[in-house]
Amino acid sequence: MSRLYRYLRKTCRKATPLVIALLICRPSACAQQVTAQYTLTGTVINTVTGEPLRKTLVEVVGDTHHAVLTDQYGQFQVDGLKEMQATVMAEKPGFFDDQDLAPGPADQAQVHIGPFTKPLLVKMTPESIVVGRVTAANGEPLESVPVKLACVRFTNYGKRWEQCANTYTSEEGEFRFGSLMPGSYYVEAGPSSSYAVSSSVVSVDLVPGQQAEEDFTLQPDPQLELSDDVREYAAAQLATSDSHPSAAGEKVSRISGAVLNLQTGQPLPGAEVIIAVPQDRTPIGAAITGDNGRFSFARFSPGTYILLAKREGFRPQGRQTRQPFWTRVTVAGGQDCDNLIFQLQADSSLSGLITDEGNEAVRDAQVMLFRRVVRNGKQASHLEAESVTDSAGHYRFSHLEPGEYVAAVVAQPWYAQNRSAASSKPSDAPADLDVAYPIIFQSGATDPSDAVPISLQPGERVEADVTLRPVPAVHLRVRNASLDPARPGAATLMASLYGGFVAPVPTERTTINGGLIEINGVPPGRYAINLQSFGGEDSANRSREFYLSGDMEIDGNQI
């Protein structure tokens, strides 16, 4: 027994029991194993401008995993760390960290967490961007022209050029490549059999944060091989518009008319009028309207022909119709068919910008466009088109008919760290990162019944921007998802978007064991769960609707 122990026993006989207990206990019995905890702080900045970067995800990965977002000053603080070697990673759309730009050994990005850890300065490099416009020789924008981007790849065989991205021009002839690292690139526009134009290539050297603009003017290529469905355009470019051969001695006829703007009644120059045989719609001639909107086909043999007029920015239409049908014309020998009138209806479009609550672009958001129609005297809706936002958060729907439309936006916060409902480590997913975006409509409503449609008029260009705001995510646990433990079931969460149309909700699904499935990262709302379960050799599909307002557990046997 130690001298200190005997002294304490002797002097503390008259002390209170609590004091005696504290004083006479052996040091080995009283000691508690307390692990020291440390805090890591730092700032994230833009390497080009030196400005702090707000809302940057900083992750500390070692024996444990921690994640935080920087504040408005670009600063972060990670608490509750034990002494360890850890890798610190930063992520923000539109930026690259050092590991992205120069991948190497993991220890290059490691720091020692402990009592002497200094604040970190994390530098991020902004992306480079290439944008441009593709036009024809006459200045008209060319739509749906392929644009390819080639970059340098380093392989075991050395440096080589490879295609690293591709896209198509919009109805305005525009294209965009984002998320590019600094370096050398080649951009190729075309070729396009739709317009019988050749390709053009330029080289681009990008520095961090640069937006390079590269416009292309594509020239006609008469030798370009055309597909059958676009041969009429080649005919419009190469055939003479005032002469079509007929048999020797045969009485010939002329077919002529004008192409007008349906809304204004004004002539449309530069419109294409295609004439074909009705049996297989093989084009036998084409004409381009002049400044007065008129066209003419001369020296045609007696018979029946079909015609179609079209122009960029307008819907293809037959004579005196608003539908893309061919117009049938019959001419007798020596008799002319003049004053055919084609009235083209201008296309409508819907476009916009998707941003988050901090006014930053939301990339890769899914935008679904619904159109309201009347069928059999009843109002109905159907999915008209789908789009995905680009690196700038833009979406666009072109060539729309006049009518009423509703756009629904489905997305996930890029920084979301959805925790498991069964997690015993709440620090693994802080509450401000365990979030989700509710499905939202272009009017700002989150309930389909409250969505206000947009009425598009002929030729109207409407912009509808949408702001996404995160809400705390909820978690769903499905027990007995499968009757066969060896074959786990599958669960899909569906949401009603508009007009009875349902779509899967982007979530994180985890199969644990014993037929238990967790679905995390779900915004509150009304859903239907589709459950596919297995029992022996048989499978069964079950469905149930419910409203999810908080964490919930359901039994697959009761679905």
Q: Report the range of poorest mean pLDDT among 124-128, 211-215, 459-463, 476-480.
A: 476-480
Instruction: Please give the residue that has the higher pLDDT: either 504 or 472.
Output: 472
Q: Determine the pLDDT at residue 222.
A: 60
| Residues in CB range of 159: below 8 A, 6 or more apart | 152, 153
Q: Helices 3-11 & 17-24, crossing angle to 10 degrees?
A: 170
Report the share of the chain in percent with pLDDT over 70: 79
Q: Domains of the chain by range and CATH? A: 38-126 (2.60.40.1120), 128-218 (2.60.40.10), 235-339 (2.60.40.10), 348-471 (2.60.40.1120), 472-558 (2.60.40)
Q: How far is CA 98 from the centre of its chain?
A: 26
Q: Determine the pLDDT at residue 345.
A: 86
**Confidence class of residue 326 from pLDDT cuts 50, 70 and 90?**
low
Range 177-198 average pLDDT: 87
Q: Determine the pLDDT at residue 175.
A: 97
Q: Determine the pLDDT at residue 166.
A: 95
Q: Determine the pLDDT at residue 304.
A: 85
Residue 204 pLDDT more than 60? yes
What would the pLDDT profile of 467-491 be if each residue is shown by its tens digit?
Answer: 999 999 999 988 887 766 667 778 8
| Residues in CB range of 45: below 8 A, 6 or more apart | 51, 52, 53, 74, 121, 122, 123, 124
**Confidence class of residue 82 from pLDDT cuts 50, 70 and 90?**
very high
Q: How many CB atoms lie within 10 A of CB 543?
A: 11
**Confidence class of residue 18 from pLDDT cuts 50, 70 and 90?**
very low
First-to-last CA distance in the chain? 68
Q: Determine the pLDDT at residue 108.
A: 54
Q: Are 486 and 537 in contact (CB under 8 A)?
A: no
Average model confidence (pLDDT) across the chain: 81
Residue 400 pLDDT more than 80? yes
Q: How many CB atoms lie within 10 A of CB 140?
A: 14
Q: Determine the pLDDT at residue 157.
A: 74
Q: Determine the pLDDT at residue 64.
A: 87
Place of tokens 């003049």: 338
Q: Determine the pLDDT at residue 420.
A: 59
Q: Determine the pLDDT at residue 333.
A: 66
Which residue type sits at 291?
Answer: D
Q: Determine the pLDDT at residue 323.
A: 45
Q: Determine the pLDDT at residue 377.
A: 80
Q: Determine the pLDDT at residue 35.
A: 76
What would the pLDDT profile of 409-449 be if each residue is shown by its tens digit?
Answer: 999 999 998 765 554 443 356 778 999 999 999 989 998 88
**Furthest-apart CA pair in the chain: how many Å?**
140
Instruction: Please give the residue that has the higher pLDDT: either 501 or 147.
Output: 147
Q: Are 68 and 434 in contact (CB under 8 A)?
A: no
Q: Determine the pLDDT at residue 301.
A: 78
Q: Determine the pLDDT at residue 186.
A: 96
Joined together, the tokens standing for residue 162 give 């490879």
Which residue type sits at 144?
Answer: S
DSSP secondary-structure letter at 236? H
| Residues in CB range of 102: below 8 A, 6 or more apart | none
Q: Cα separation of 288 and 270, whole Å? A: 6
Range 59-83 average pLDDT: 93
Range 440-467 average pLDDT: 92
Joined together, the tokens standing for residue 9 give 């026993």
Place of tokens 């074959």: 487
Residue 211 pLDDT more than 80? yes
Q: Determine the pLDDT at residue 310.
A: 84
Residue 106 pLDDT more than 50? no
**Confidence class of residue 188 from pLDDT cuts 50, 70 and 90?**
very high
Q: Is 486 exposed, middle or buried (0-12, 13-18, 19+ CB in 10 A)?
A: exposed
In terms of average pLDDT, the best of 48-62, 132-146, 444-458 is 48-62
Q: How many CB atoms lie within 10 A of CB 128?
A: 23
Q: How many CB atoms lie within 10 A of CB 122?
A: 21
Q: Is 511 exposed, middle or buried (0-12, 13-18, 19+ CB in 10 A)?
A: middle
Instruction: Please give the residue that has the higher pLDDT: either 11 or 464.
Output: 464
Joined together, the tokens standing for residue 251 give 């009485």
Residue 508 pLDDT more than 50? yes
Q: Report the range of poorest mean pLDDT among 156-170, 199-213, 223-237, 301-315.
A: 223-237
Element housing 17 (H / E): helix 17-24
Q: Are 320 and 239 in contact (CB under 8 A)?
A: no
Report the share of the chain in percent with pLDDT over 90: 42
**Confidence class of residue 31 from pLDDT cuts 50, 70 and 90?**
very low
Q: Determine the pLDDT at residue 496.
A: 81
What would the pLDDT profile of 236-285 be if each residue is shown by its tens digit?
Answer: 433 433 334 454 555 678 888 999 988 889 998 888 888 888 877 777 88
Element housing 21 (H / E): helix 17-24
DSSP secondary-structure letter at 197? B
Q: Determine the pLDDT at residue 228.
A: 41
- DSSP E strands in 334-487: the ranges are 337-344, 348-356, 366-375, 378-388, 394-400, 403-410, 435-436, 440-441, 454-456, 461-463, 466-468, 471-472, 474-479
**Confidence class of residue 505 from pLDDT cuts 50, 70 and 90?**
confident
Q: Are 315 and 324 in contact (CB under 8 A)?
A: yes
